[in-house]
Structure 1
Amino acid sequence: MDLEFRNRRVLVIGGSYGIGEAAAKLALAEGAQVMIASRSAENLAAAAARMEEATGRRPAEAVADVTQAGTAEALAERVAADWGGLDVLISAVGGSIRAAFADLSDEDWMGNYTFNVLSTVRAIRAHLPLLQKGQAPAVVMLGAAASKMPYAHQIVSNVHKAGMLGLNKTLASEFAPLGIRVNLVAPGRTLTPLWTNRADKIAADEGRTRDDVLADFSKDIPLGRFGTADEVARMVVWLASPCAAYITGQSVNVDGGIARGLL
């Protein structure tokens, strides 16, 4: 299928590893102009080199920490200077804190809110004028299957990822008259550095192997395995493409069936 991505201007925030990197790589392979943004210049350079090796094309790189006030606006100025407008914004920023409710401080709650919700709000707000100049513009946010099936001892991210569902629905309605579609992809357990690092820590603490730990975490996934970043990225890029022109306000799980709710 031709995703009609050729020459589309695509910004991927959180594009230096994991699902964000996979989405940027796929967009490059489909012929898009791509810029990846991340906090680390070193990680950006490494990711850009991997993408160039895989696709023969290299993305533009922008050092930006959207958890910090004013950074999203500076990033938008860079996009405006380079491209003059924006067709696709992908926000792949977020994470969790694994702890019991009683052990979490106000700082834990506020820090994770900034990471999971406010960073994406800032990015969308800063780039909205550029999206309004785009061709068939689209926003895709990365959420989590935990927004629909909360995990134990991850209450902070459970709450904030659920908030992303509300953000998605609200923005989709508000931006529809502007011609901008907004959707969210909710991954389940996916083999990204966040999960492999966690599995390595558990394995070291318990004297086990990474594969053994991952196998245990796969037992309650109906498909019996973790997803890959590429599998999630395909949904992200498809939703951002003109092929999904009649889809907005949707939160699509790519989770191997782990979230068992009806909605």
Structure 2
Amino acid sequence: VAIVSRNADVLDATAAEIREATGRRVLVVPADVGDEAAVERLVQVVLAEYGRIDVLVNNAGGPPPGTFTDVSDEDWLHAVQLNLMSAVRLTRLVLPGMRERRWGRIINITSVSVKQPMPTLILSNAVRVGVVAMAKTLAGQVAGEGITVNNVCPGSILTDRITQLTQADAQREGISFDEALARRAAAIPMGRIGLPEELAALIAFLASERAAYITGTTIQVDGGAFNGLM
């Protein structure tokens, strides 16, 4: 396993957890996936260590919350680089090896906002849809080569991202963090925030051989919060 983040301390702690739980090798690569040169370097490092990349999970952090009038051109361009172009570049770099071996899994972690836009997440709403469209198009092109391409859409999951968004909600509405979190949970049919391991279970399945006939899909993990049919 190779894991990538801008935060070296988080990487080291996560790697230690994985090693303790699995006994497997973990390669730590500090990098900003929004930077083109950094993406090229990190793929080179992983290939030098392992010789191949069979599964790619694109999971760049989400752009900051805001409405249309809150965000600048710079915010838009940064969101495109971080959330769209990181997935495009990493996919482009790993795809040749997957095609050569006729096996691969590409999984993009997006957001339930690609199916149900959220008023205060204009950047995420717009940019992440591009990832979904790219993945759907690519999935059809490589389906006959043993490669699947899918998107996973988290709703409210207990992560730093939800903490950030809930803090923004609390500040905007003039309420406490706990009250804002309770409101978020109450809006979910299951009545609670999801756990990281519940999201991870779907990702692990999509990365497995058992998911060989699933491609071009966009699946939400949101406790039933998405109010739509597709």
Same fold (TM over 0.5): yes
> Any conservation in 1 of the 2:79–2:123 contact (CA below 8 Å)?
yes
For 2:67 and 2:31, how far apart are their aligned partners in 1? 31
Q: How big is the shift at 1:201?
A: 6.2
Residue in 1 that maps onto 2:54: 87
Residue in 1 that maps onto 2:94: 127
Residue in 1 that maps onto 2:73: 106
CA change 1:83–1:94 in 2 (3 A) is same
Taking structure 1 as the reference length, the TM-score comes to 0.80
For 1:101 and 1:200, how far apart are their aligned partners in 2? 19
For 1:75 and 1:121, how far apart are their aligned partners in 2? 15
For 1:192 and 1:254, how far apart are their aligned partners in 2? 14
Q: How big is the shift at 1:227?
A: 0.7
> Any conservation in 1 of the 2:155–2:222 contact (CA below 8 Å)?
yes
Residue in 2 that maps onto 1:61: 28
Q: 2:145 aligns with which of 173, 178, 183?
A: 178
**What is the alpha-carbon root mean square deviation over aligned residues?**
2.0
Identity of aligned residues (%): 39
For 2:175 and 2:148, how far apart are their aligned partners in 1? 48
Residue in 1 that maps onto 2:64: 97
For 1:96 and 1:38, how far apart are their aligned partners in 2? 15
Instruction: Identify the structure with the greater helix proportion.
Output: 2
CA change 1:134–1:226 in 2 (3 A) is farther
Query: Which stretch of structure 1 is more off in the superposition, 170-179 or 192-201?
Result: 192-201
Q: Per-residue CA shift, 1:3-36, capped at 9, x if unaligned? A: xxxxxxxxxxxxxxxxxxxxxxxxxxxxxxx111
For 2:165 and 2:118, how far apart are their aligned partners in 1? 15
Superposed, 1:213-228 pairs within 5 Å as 213-228=180-195
> Any conservation in 1 of the 2:27–2:46 contact (CA below 8 Å)?
no
Q: How big is the shift at 1:212?
A: 2.9
For 1:184 and 1:204, how far apart are their aligned partners in 2? 31
CA change 1:233–1:135 in 2 (3 A) is farther
For 1:136 and 1:170, how far apart are their aligned partners in 2? 18
Superposed, 1:96-245 pairs within 5 Å as 96-134=63-101, 136-200=103-167, 206=174, 208=176, 210-245=177-212
Q: How big is the shift at 1:229?
A: 1.0
Q: Is it true that 1:261 corresponds to 2:223 in the alignment?
A: no
Q: Helix, strand or coil for the counterpart of 2:229? A: coil
Aligned length: 229
Structure 1 unmatched ranges of 5 or more: 1-33
Output the amino acid matched with 1:46. Answer: A
Q: How big is the shift at 1:197?
A: 4.0
Output the amino acid matched with 2:56. Answer: L
Q: Helix, strand or coil for the counterpart of 2:198? A: helix
For 1:154 and 1:203, how far apart are their aligned partners in 2? 15
Output the amino acid matched with 1:176. Answer: A
Q: How big is the shift at 1:58?
A: 4.8
> Any conservation in 1 of the 2:65–2:165 contact (CA below 8 Å)?
no
For 1:163 and 1:197, how far apart are their aligned partners in 2? 23
Q: How big is the shift at 1:57?
A: 3.8
Query: Which stretch of structure 1 is more off in the superposition, 95-104 or 154-163?
Result: 95-104
Q: Is it true that 1:38 corresponds to 2:9 in the alignment?
A: no
Taking structure 2 as the reference length, the TM-score comes to 0.91
For 1:163 and 1:217, how far apart are their aligned partners in 2? 26
Q: Helix, strand or coil for the counterpart of 1:94? A: coil
> Any conservation in 2 of the 1:93–1:115 contact (CA below 8 Å)?
yes
